[in-house]
């Protein structure tokens, strides 16, 4: 299985927890394919085909608000993440899903949860993954709702940091391929606000940002901001 990330950071450990949890499902995984950057994988309302497992790259799931303006980004998908969990009991996917950078993906093909030819234990296991991911998402939304922009962004960097640590990369030095605008859409704020806060965090010595490369200089300080009202 190819878990190599496109960025050049050091790999510390090998296993992504999500992968190990998915052994049973992976038996049904189709061959890995490549999706080049800024390409749509799934259009809004498309028929459910199965789950996609991300091997490398980054994708976003977004909902276009009817009131023309900017998209709302509901998820970023990193290596080890499953795409489509929120549609597993539906006939169609929700929102459109597109790559931000070139991705390696594989499809775990099934039409319906009831048709997934795995054991009862694996079934329960899948449901636990589903439940866990929903709970994480739920927590994130509540945080976004009830916290200040500073807290949200600090929490975002902490989350990203954890993601990279889990994948075996350095948690304090990483590349985020998404634009400021996309981060803003994910956190439900204006891109100017993201810019301003990042600048402030830099002045306060919390982190350093150079284009899409980020260095966390003071994780404790960020955590403190993320936790306060």
Residues at the site binding DNA, with contacts judged by CB under 7 A? 148-150, 179-181, 188-196, 198-199, 209, 211-212
Q: Which of the listed partners (its own copies, DNA, none) does 166 bind, with a CB threshold of 5 to 8 Å by partner kind?
A: none
Q: Which of 34, 142, 205, 213 binds its own copies (CB under 8 A)?
A: 142
Segment interacting with its own copies (CB under 8 A) among 40-48, 82-90, 160-168, 200-208: 82-90
DSSP string for residues in the chain: -----SS-PPB-----HHHHHTHHHHTTBPPPEEE-SS-EEE-TTPBP-EEEEEEES-EEEEEE-SSSS-EEEEEEE-TTPEE-GGGTTSSB--SEEEESS-EEEEEEE-S-GGG----HHHHHHHHHHHHHHHHHHHHHHHHHHHS-HHHHHHHHHHHHHHHHHHTTB-TTEEE--S-HHHHHHHTTS-HHHHHHHHHHHHHTTSEEEETTEEEES-HHHHHHHHH--
Applying CB under 8 A, does 223 fall inside the site for its own copies?
A: no
Q: Which of 23, 138, 200, 224 binds its own copies (CB under 8 A)?
A: 138
**Site for its own copies, residues 88 to 107, rule: CB under 8 A:** 88-90, 94
Applying CB under 8 A, does 65 fall inside the site for its own copies?
A: yes
CB of 139 to its own copies, least distance (A): 9
With respect to DNA, which residue has the nearer C-beta, 46 or 150?
A: 150
With respect to its own copies, which residue has the nearer C-beta, 15 or 134?
A: 134
Instruction: State the Cα–Cα distance between residues 97 and 26, nearest whole angstrom.
Output: 21
**Binding footprint of its own copies on the chain (CB under 8 A):** 63, 65-67, 69, 72, 74, 86, 88-90, 94, 113-114, 120, 124, 127-128, 131-132, 134-135, 137-138, 141-142, 144-146, 188, 227-229
């Amino acid at each position: 299985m190819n878990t190599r990330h496109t960025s050049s950071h050091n790999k510390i450990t090998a296993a992504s927890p999500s992968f190990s949890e998915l052994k049973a499902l992976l038996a049904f995984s189709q061959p890995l394919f490549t999706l080049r950057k800024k390409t749509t994988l799934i259009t809004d309302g498309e028929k459910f085909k199965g789950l996609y497992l991300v091997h490398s790259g980054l994708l976003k799931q977004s909902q276009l608000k009817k009131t023309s303006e900017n998209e709302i980004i509901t998820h970023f998908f990193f290596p080890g993440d499953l795409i489509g969990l929120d549609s597993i009991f539906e006939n169609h996917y929700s929102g459109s899903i597109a790559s931000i950078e070139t991705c390696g993906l594989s499809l775990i093909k099934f039409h319906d949860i009831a048709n997934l030819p795995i054991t009862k234990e694996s079934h329960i296991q899948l449901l636990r993954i589903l439940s866990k991911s929903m709970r994480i998402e739920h927590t994130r939304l509540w945080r976004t709702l009830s916290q200040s922009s500073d807290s949200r962004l600090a929490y975002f960097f902490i989350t990203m940091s954890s993601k990279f640590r889990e994948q075996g990369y350095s948690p304090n030095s990483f590349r985020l391929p998404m634009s400021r605008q996309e981060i803003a859409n994910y956190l439900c704020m204006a891109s100017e606000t993201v810019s301003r806060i990042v600048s402030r965090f830099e002045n306060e010595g919390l982190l350093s940002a150079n284009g899409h490369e980020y260095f966390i200089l003071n994780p404790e300080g960020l955590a403190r901001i993320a936790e306060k009202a």
